[in-house]
Chains A and B, each alone.
Chain A
């Protein structure tokens, strides 16, 4: 089954404790992206990647890091989480080229709480 898998789905952590949210897709998509969703602010893009070893900042990259060492994986790293990073996070992927560029496949989300 074609899917984007995120882990963990739920996490409560404390300020300053490094954490990684993993994202994996099995569709051989070139493009992957991270969004965060907050009440009243909608979905905002954090980082994106056009292919292996190619990453770039989205609208709200502060406090986050990403890497793309393999095509299928795009982990989101919070080096020193703070309470304002409490949010619902979504990973998404898409094939590049043609009419599929706007068709994103989203994961189920990771709800992160930073105390």
Chain B
């Protein structure tokens, strides 16, 4: 079946540091890939997505590139802010054996940015 692997964290960075959160996946076919962000006490928000190989998703200074050759979708940001502190989920969307769209989530990586 489909699976997503990401570092659990927590990741602690100083403000303005460079961020990388690794994500690798296993899937059949051609899944879409996503990063979601969850701020404390809230639901998940879609941060960015990529639907085919070599696509780059970007939003709010974050970006991730769909690498089919390495089955990866690493999240990066050049300069983090305290307001970026949250839990980040990597996810993929593909069809299951029943023919419906299923999203598989990673375990989530907690990011803490300190001033």
Q: Do A and B come from one complex?
A: no
